[in-house]
Structure 1
Amino acid sequence: MRYADLHIHIGRTLSNDPVKITASRALTLPAILREAFGPKGLHIIAPVDCAAPGVIAELRAMVHAGELTEAPGGGLLWESNRLVILGCEVEAAVGRGRCHLISYFPTLQAVTQYSQILAQHMTNINLSSQRVDLSPEALGEITQSLDGLLVPAHAFTPHRGLYGSCLDSWREAFTAKPLAVELGLSADASLAGRLEELAEATFLSNSDAHSLDRIAREHNAFQLEEVSFAAFAAALRSEGNCRLLANYGLDPRLGKYYRSYCPNCGQTRQPPPVSVCSVCGKKVIVGVLDRISQLATASTPVQRPPYYHQVPLRMLPGCGPRTMERLLRAFGTEMNILHHVPAEDLRRVANEQLVELIIAARGGQLAIEPGGGGRYGRVVSD
């Protein structure tokens, strides 16, 4: 089993040039590798800012220095058994708005060619997630010509989501069927599975990390024949012995856009879908649950790999930096703590209240105040 987080942002290059403006300065490429492959316990990551020439230069320098090596099946290997997939996120206009799309590439040569193409269609190639004057269909064709894969990011959110802010149907933007869709923090497989046209698509749960501590807050478990881009691509298609085994993601209620939200009156409480505030009559920021309720077409979702809800330790009341440090020192990785360490072992390191919250989170028994309108939901403790 290989754990993968396929949406991590780079804040700065080592020369202190900005890459993702809204991301932490601490999110340098070396820091991401250490955090993701260390305490977060991941095996595969995809930084999604690899079209920036400064990032490409750093990747090439790391290959030249032997810190990264090119895998025969594509991707870059770190310490021989951890894989870096080269991702590029852009913003494209379609339908009623703009959406974020991620292209994944197998080689530095391919991502360099993609960067050179994008530079002709955007204002600043040095920054991530920039607007490009190409359609999603055109981006998909360019990506495919370079042996890459195109996936819509956080597809259901009202902020730059393909379904959330742009379209009612995949067919309005693409002629080919969807290979994979990133769900976003406010959706899970059971919600997205209500769209019949996504029945054959692989669902991805990724962190969209803008800081080191948020890496792996959502991730995927894959069965792969080898650690390479080719095996990852095969897993998205369920080819051979490669496949998605499970998604690990936030309880959608913890996401920033789970429910519709009226900025004037506060979060709406009516049954979904809610598009207009019942108090002031103004339009709301439509939540993911509400948007999917508008679009739902499938009465019986198809059978999929399990989707395990998880609550990152930092979102649990009473888990401060010192407690987190003690837990990681005792049990190695956050994944191990969240999903595997027995309660009696946890009690030797953490207080009873926190242990009860961790165990309750495993069973989906936490009390949660839903998020909406750009505000995260929160765990409510007694």
Structure 2
Amino acid sequence: MREFFADLHIHIGWTEKKEPVKISASKNLTYINILKEAYHHKGLDMIGIIDCHSPRVQEEILYYLNHGLIGELDEGGLQYQELTILLGSEIEVKEEGRGEAHYLAFFPFLSDIIDFSKWMQKHMKNINLSSQRLYVKTKELQKEVYDRNGLFIPAHIFTPFKSVYGKCCDRMEEVLDLNRIDAVELGLSSDTEMADRIQELHQFPFITNSDAHSLQKIGREYNKLLIESPTFKELKWALKGLNGRKILKNYGLDPKLGKYHQTRCVQCDQLVENESYCDHCGSKKIIKGVSNRIDELADLQTGLHPSGRPDYIHQVPLEFIPKLGQKTLEKLLSHFGTEMNILHRVSMEQLQAIIPDKLAEMLIQAREGKLSVEVGGGGVYGKVLE
């Protein structure tokens, strides 16, 4: 078996016919641009595109299949050169009397997600757009995903907007069938140490993904899998820990860099400690941070990890590195091929041969999670300190 890098949460902003899919995403985030960026520049082995329920997107996929640019794998997924693309959907559900939550669903074959879309269209106002409200109970959604041999994953579970813990419930068992959850996605503002303070989560594998709304954000968080080959079937086995397959590591931002890590006042834009009102101006208009929300939910003072839980590596994406401009990044890519090579495989000596020593040292520190950061919150990313 081999090691593969997987980012399973990437949005399509626009089709090549200039039709919107994810309105808040970049217009150059088209299906084919995602494949090229993820494979040629990022160096990923597997990606999940989570707007494949849209008939507009399905039309493009069929075009590329018919013209031989991509192919369908026998064990599930599509293939572009050596990159595997999983067919996914992000869906919003609002349970009665509760807030909204987002969920990810992945399917092995194009025919499965086309059939899923036909079902969703009966319960949704606009099937062509991403992350739309589905007017059914969450457990019904889970059943429909499982009936089509899919995977069901609660998305960015602590985010204060549109997530299961951030907006919907204190325990997932209140709204979900726990036997139909294949993994949970941690989100940019939390990590394994934080999430494992909640005992309900000990039964689920953790994944961490970019939730990319632009090409450059692809691969800012990802997972290392030990599998035979990058296919839907092998991913399913890795999530279940079957036949020697497993998640080896989660790579993600230091949660302090996440834009919802700490509570922030909307009125005066200051980070605050109080969870009910602003310590600075007294306003009650605050966005509760992920760290504060986990404090509310936690059964444990510190994270207690179940057996087999992979390490979570705090890794700073290249775009966060001070003074690493576009020209320098292009220089690095021309020498070393992909961002995965730069982040994982290139030595200090190789870096120093083409960029200043201080910058090379920062790249190695970013790889090892040793850079000092300024905390983010309330929709504002943290930043790396020079």
State TM-score, norm by structure 1.
0.95
In structure 2, the gaps of 5 or more residues are: none
Superposed displacement of residue 96, structure 1:
2.5
C-alpha separation in 2, matches of 1:136 and 1:324: 43
- 2:205 is the alignment partner of 1:202: yes
Aligned to 1:306: 311
C-alpha separation in 1, matches of 2:346 and 2:222: 19
C-alpha separation in 2, matches of 1:342 and 1:275: 48
Superposed displacement of residue 66, structure 1:
1.5
Give the 3 Å change call, closer, same or farther, for CA 222–275 of structure 1 in structure 2. farther
Aligned to 2:377: 372
Aligned to 1:237: 240
Aligned to 2:85: 84
**1:161-310 matches, cutoff 5 A:** 161-177=163-179, 178-270=181-273, 274-279=275-280, 280=282, 282-298=284-300, 300-303=304-307, 304-310=309-315
Give the stretch that moved more between structures: 105-114 or 68-77.
Answer: 68-77
SS in structure 2 opposite 1:375?
coil
C-alpha separation in 2, matches of 1:360 and 1:207: 21
Superposed displacement of residue 38, structure 1:
1.2
SS in structure 2 opposite 1:89?
strand
C-alpha separation in 1, matches of 2:245 and 2:369: 29
Superposed displacement of residue 325, structure 1:
0.2
Aligned to 1:29: 31
Aligned to 2:139: 137
Superposed displacement of residue 313, structure 1:
1.1
Q: Give the counterpart of 1:335 among 340, 345, 351.
A: 340
Q: Give the counterpart of 1:48 among 47, 50, 57.
A: 50
Superposed displacement of residue 150, structure 1:
1.0
SS in structure 2 opposite 1:102?
strand
**1:94-133 matches, cutoff 5 A:** 94=95, 96-133=98-135
- Output one character per residue of 1:327-364: Cα deviation in whole Å (capped at 9) or x when no partner: 11111111221233222211122223322221222332
Give the stretch that moved more between structures: 97-106 or 171-180.
Answer: 171-180
SS in structure 1 opposite 2:234?
helix
- Output one character per residue of 1:257-294: Cα deviation in whole Å (capped at 9) or x when no partner: 00011112333353xx7343233151521111111111
Aligned to 1:4: 6
SS in structure 1 opposite 2:286?
coil
The percent identity for this pair of structures is: 44
C-alpha separation in 2, matches of 1:226 and 1:357: 33
* AA matched with 2:329: M
C-alpha separation in 2, matches of 1:217 and 1:174: 29
Give the 3 Å change call, closer, same or farther, for CA 275–246 of structure 1 in structure 2. farther
Aligned to 1:315: 320
* AA matched with 1:133: Y
C-alpha separation in 1, matches of 2:84 and 2:123: 30
C-alpha separation in 2, matches of 1:65 and 1:317: 42
- Output one character per residue of 1:202-237: Cα deviation in whole Å (capped at 9) or x when no partner: 111100001111100000111112332111111111
State TM-score, norm by structure 2.
0.94
SS in structure 2 opposite 1:116?
helix
* AA matched with 1:302: P
Give the stretch that moved more between structures: 281-290 or 99-108.
Answer: 281-290
Superposed displacement of residue 251, structure 1:
0.8
Report if the CA contact (8 A) 2:313-2:369 is conserved: no
Give the stretch that moved more between structures: 199-208 or 328-337.
Answer: 328-337
C-alpha separation in 2, matches of 1:282 and 1:169: 25
Report if the CA contact (8 A) 1:49-1:88 is conserved: yes
Report if the CA contact (8 A) 1:276-1:283 is conserved: yes
Q: Give the counterpart of 1:59 among 51, 58, 61.
A: 61
C-alpha separation in 1, matches of 2:137 and 2:360: 49
In structure 1, the gaps of 5 or more residues are: none
* AA matched with 1:362: R
Give the stretch that moved more between structures: 257-266 or 199-208.
Answer: 257-266
Superposed displacement of residue 302, structure 1:
2.2
Report if the CA contact (8 A) 1:259-1:267 is conserved: no
C-alpha separation in 1, matches of 2:182 and 2:30: 30
Report if the CA contact (8 A) 2:84-2:230 is conserved: yes
- CA RMSD in angstroms comes to 1.5
C-alpha separation in 1, matches of 2:126 and 2:336: 43
SS in structure 1 opposite 2:370?
coil
- Output one character per residue of 1:121-147: Cα deviation in whole Å (capped at 9) or x when no partner: 111111111111012211111100011
Report if the CA contact (8 A) 2:76-2:232 is conserved: yes
SS in structure 2 opposite 1:85?
strand
Report if the CA contact (8 A) 2:54-2:130 is conserved: yes
Report if the CA contact (8 A) 1:151-1:181 is conserved: yes
